[in-house]
């Protein structure tokens, strides 16, 4: 089966949750299908990065970003305009009409308008998260322009549903929220996962945990992560340091925002743009996910659990993952409760190790990317088979 796969980004380097999800789903799906990747190229990105995708893609084409034109600019939210490419839109319409492909996979809502109102082939719309919900929950101003942009994103959701009812969500919560606003879909739930080749059992078994080391991992310019780090350092860390003066929080991730860099201090270390997060995951006593804003599911939790790291998270941080409080991780939703949960694991390394081991066993069964990609491929096949001939 030939699948036309449209993405608003080239899924390399693997330095953000979106790129990681796109890369691993497409790469593993390519074991069963011929995946033809069509991507918008980020400003300043090296076209040579395509070499990391060429070995498994049936074909790859890259398209420069462009302005959508004055009237379309007015009609579209800023985030949608960031990823616009007139050339990509034209190419997708040409290829959909060619008869070469079984279906078109649209990898983000932000590319939904690249699909004709009456597409020539079946379309699967993929949501990494609900962009409108995330936009509504972030803090970037509350003026008329912001409300107008939110309205545009809600309108884009409705437009995507008018083009296809075949949608893929990261979580049942996201599906329910989308359908409540827009109407029913024919949907698959494909969660986020981990790469067993990189976060596999041998590395988990040799991990040596440092008893007073906490870890947060994420894209450090992404507002939900910036908010989580700041709130944790302000509200939770002082409670823990009062009991354990030598405790250190490692904050690891790409492109730290100034607000994150400002958190550095005697008990907080910022590690920017590291080549590999595994050494940090191997040594942390507790992996913390104190998110209060979010959508989709978090890659960081399956990756941490794959290395048997004990996890303490907010409910939002673990949203959409089939994990049980007290069995696979600990959940806490206030500063005091997060502090108590972390302290309970620091004080009882045997319990922490048991929690990490149970979490590892669970994600190995349910959250490896090859398994998740099979779910996506099954949905593709069902969608193609149900299409009118």
- 303, burial (CB in 10 Å: exposed 0-12, middle 13-18, buried 19+): buried
pTM for the whole structure: 0.93
State yes or no: pLDDT of 363 exceeds 80.
yes
Q: Supply the DSSP string of 75-113, one letter for each residue.
A: HS-HHHHHT--HHHHHHHHHHHTTT--SEEEE-SGGGGG
Residue 293 in this model has a pLDDT that exceeds 70:
yes
Query: pLDDT (tens digit, 9 = 90+) per residue, 179-226?
Result: 999 999 999 999 999 999 999 766 656 668 999 999 999 999 999 999
pLDDT at 80 over 60: yes
pLDDT surpassing 60 at residue 63:
yes
Q: What is the pLDDT of residues 92-115, one digit of tens each?
A: 999 999 999 999 999 999 999 999
Q: Whole-angstrom Cα distance, residue 259 to residue 261? A: 6
Record the tokens describing residue 246, joined without a space: 């030598």
Q: What is the mean pLDDT of residues 348-359?
A: 97
Better-scored residue on pLDDT, 162 or 146:
162
What's the token pair of residue 146? 């912001």
pLDDT value of position 295: 64
Q: For the chain, which domains are there?
A: 2-193+369-386 (3.40.50.2000), 201-366 (3.40.50.2000)
Nearest in space to 121 (alpha carbons), one of 166, 61, 57 = 166
The better pLDDT of the pair 86, 297 is held by 86
- Whether residue 140 is predicted with pLDDT greater than 90 in this model: the reply is no
pLDDT tens for each residue of 323-350? 999 999 999 999 999 999 999 999 999 9
Half-sphere exposure in the Cβ direction for 309 (13 Å, CA): 34
- Who contacts 187 (Cβ-Cβ below 8 Å, separation ≥6)? 166, 167, 168, 169, 175
d(CA 379, CA 389): 18
Peptide linkage before 13 cis (omega within 30 of 0): yes
User: From start to end of 170-267, where are the E strands?
Assistant: 186-189, 213-217, 248-253
pLDDT digits (tens, 9 = 90+) for 16-41: 899 999 999 999 999 999 999 999 99
Among all chains, which residue has been given the structure tokens 């550095």? 264
**Do residues 122 and 384 touch, judged by C-beta distance below 8 A?**
yes
Please say if the pLDDT value at position 302 is more than 80: yes
The overall average pLDDT reported for the chain is: 94
């Amino acid at each position: 089966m030939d699948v036309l796969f449209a993405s608003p980004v080239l899924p390399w380097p693997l330095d953000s949750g979106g790129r990681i999800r796109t890369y691993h789903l497409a790469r593993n799906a390519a074991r069963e299908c011929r995946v033809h990747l069509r991507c918008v190229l980020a400003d300043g990105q090296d076209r040579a990065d395509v070499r990391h995708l060429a070995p498994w893609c049936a074909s790859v084409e890259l398209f420069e970003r462009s302005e959508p034109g004055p009237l379309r600019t007015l009609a579209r939210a800023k985030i949608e305009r960031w990823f616009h490419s007139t050339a990509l839109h034209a190419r997708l319409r040409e290829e959909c009409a060619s008869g070469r492909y079984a279906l078109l996979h649209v990898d983000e809502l932000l590319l939904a308008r690249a699909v004709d109102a009456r597409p020539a082939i079946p379309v699967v719309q993929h949501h990494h998260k609900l962009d409108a919900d995330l936009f509504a929950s972030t803090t970037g101003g509350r003026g008329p322009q912001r409300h107008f942009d939110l309205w545009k994103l809600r309108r884009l959701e409705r437009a995507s549903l008018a083009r296809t009812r075949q949608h893929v969500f990261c979580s049942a919560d996201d599906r329910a929220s989308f359908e409540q606003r827009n109407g029913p879909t024919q949907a698959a739930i494909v969660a986020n996962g981990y790469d067993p080749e990189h976060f596999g059992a041998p590395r988990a078994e040799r991990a040596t945990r440092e008893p007073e080391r906490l870890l947060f991992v994420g894209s450090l310019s992404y507002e939900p992560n910036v908010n989580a780090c700041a709130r944790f350092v302000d509200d939770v860390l002082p409670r823990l340091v009062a009991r354990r003066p030598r405790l250190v929080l490692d904050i690891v991730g790409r492109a730290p925002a100034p607000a994150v860099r400002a958190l550095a201090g005697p008990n907080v270390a910022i590690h920017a743009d590291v080549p590999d997060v595994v050494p940090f995951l191997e040594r942390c006593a507790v992996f913390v996910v104190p998110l209060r804003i979010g959508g989709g599911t978090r890659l960081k939790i399956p990756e941490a659990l794959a290395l048997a790291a004990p996890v303490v998270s907010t409910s939002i941080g673990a949203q959409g993952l089939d994990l049980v409080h007290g069995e696979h991780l600990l959940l806490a939703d206030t500063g005091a409760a997060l502090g108590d949960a972390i302290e309970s694991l620091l004080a009882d390394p045997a319990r922490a190790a048991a929690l990490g081991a149970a979490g590892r066993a669970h994600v190995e069964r349910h959250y490896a990317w090859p398994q998740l990609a099979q779910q996506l491929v099954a949905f593709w096949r069902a969608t193609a088979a149900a299409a009118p001939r």
